[in-house]
Amino acid sequence: MMNNFGLGILSMLISSLCVAMMCFLGQALSESLALSLLVFIRFFCPFLLAFWMLVTLDSYRFHIQPPFYLHALRALFVVAGQYCLFYALHHHSVLMATLLFSTAPLFAPIITAMVHKTPIDLKIWPSLILGFIGITCVLHPGLKGIWNMGLLVGLGSGFFNACCQVTFQNVSKDHSPLSELFYMFGLSALITAGPMLVSWYHYRIEHEFSYLLDSDLLLILILFSLISMSNQMFRFKAYQYAQPIYMAPFWYASIPMSAMLDWYFKGHIPDILTVIGSCCVIVGGVLMVRYKKQTSKATPIDHQTVLSKA
């Protein structure tokens, strides 16, 4: 049991490293490519990889469980979250974008309460308040302005990520995780194709596509796609070794990992408010997980339902 739990922690830490590296590579791509083209490629390349893996390893199990509209709604939330994330990566540090993306657990109880029209448990409020104090510190009120567009859009990545998770909980997962990734990446690529084509027509971004094919960005993109798939698979592996509720706190390791990448490659050192805000967000999220763990000890968990982030 302890051996399995240790493997689960290791798998989750690798998944966290993949998240940090995805944001780091995504920032490099965002500096040279239009947002619409970047987000489309971000889904289309993993879709091709998932298709190849599904055909090669999963015996052509192409099927999706109803209701289909929930899968489409989840893809919409994933796409919206990725637009916000890459916008933040273009305007701010990797740490800041990763941190704002990691605020999803703080939004999830509020969204769940609104969807199901139920009150939020009083025991959750301390962790929510602490987490949102951390968000306020990260937004730097009085310094860069509470209405800083890049930061607020980045916060939207956490909100839509939470919407995705809430939607995902209502979707049947009888099919394989790889099949689920195939449909999620495929639907997301289909949704992002429209904005990409509009930008292609109106803003003539075909030169960026040609530049992508003729530069080192293509290697970065391939690496980005591999890391994106690895993130999903290692997280699923972690949840096979231990219940998701026990593994969730280790996902926050992506925040200090992003800070290290920012410092080592970019020379960025976070200010004191960002450090305080990061700690508050992490502690608030961990307290939230601890409460959920206490209230779900008697609830069986289906490990096929845990791939909730893109």
Residue 89 pLDDT greater than 80, yes or no:
yes
The helix/strand/coil state of 101 is: helix
Res 191: pLDDT: 94
Q: Assign 269 a pLDDT band (cuts: 50, 70, 90).
A: confident
* Digit-coded pLDDT (tens) for 2-28: 467 788 888 888 988 998 998 998 888
Residue 125: enclosing H or E segment and its boundaries? helix 125-138
Write down the pLDDT at residue 2.
46
Omega of the bond prior to 67 within 30 degrees of 0, cis? yes
**Degrees to nearest 5, angle at CA 304 with 231 and 291:** 80
The pLDDT, as a whole number, for residue 64 is 56
Q: What is the pLDDT of residue 58?
A: 53
Decide if 275 is inside a domain. yes
Mean pLDDT of 189-201: 86
Kindly state whether residue 25 falls inside one of the protein's structural domains: yes
pLDDT band at 87 (very low <50, low <70, confident <90, very high): very high
109: tokens are 């109880």
Q: Which amino acid is at 279?
A: C
CA quadruple 255, 259, 265, 270: dihedral sign: positive
How long a stretch of residues is the chain?
Answer: 310
Domain that holds residue 177: 2-305
Give the model's pLDDT for residue 308.
Answer: 41
For every residue of 7-50, DSSP letters joined together read: HHHHHHHHHHHHHHHHHHHHHHHHTTS-HHHHHHHHHHHHHHHH
Q: Tokens 């798998």, residue?
A: 11
In the chain, what percentage of residues exceed pLDDT 90?
10
DSSP string for 136-148: HHHT-TTTT-TT-
Q: Which pLDDT value is given to residue 213?
A: 64
> What are the E-state strand segments in 88-218?
none
Residue 310 lies in a domain: no
Q: Count the domains in the chain.
A: 1
The four Cα atoms 128, 134, 135, 141 give a dihedral, to 10 degrees, of 130
Lookup result for tokens 């096929």: 304
234 neighbors 25 (Cβ within 8 angstroms):
no
Q: Quick one: average pLDDT of 76-87?
A: 93
Asked if residue 88 has pLDDT above 80, the reply is: yes
Mean pLDDT of the chain: 78
Is residue 32 one of the residues assigned to a domain? yes
Confidence of residue 204 (pLDDT cuts 50, 70, 90): low
pLDDT of residue 66: 55
Please tell me the predicted confidence (pLDDT) of residue 51: 83
Q: What is the pLDDT of residues 162-184, one digit of tens each?
A: 888 777 665 545 456 677 778 88
| Range 207-214 average pLDDT | 62
The sign one gets for the Cα dihedral 256, 3, 230, 283 is negative
Maximum average pLDDT range among 2-6, 56-60, 85-89, 264-268: 85-89
Instruction: Calculate mean pLDDT across residues 145-174.
Output: 74
Q: Which comes out higher in pLDDT, residue 39 or 229?
A: 39
- Tell me the whole-structure pTM to 2 decimals: 0.80
Please enumerate, as own/partner, the contacts of 205-211 that have beta carbons within 8 Å and a separation of 24 or more. 205/34, 205/36, 205/37, 208/32, 208/33, 208/34, 208/37, 209/37, 211/32
Model pLDDT, residue 302: 47
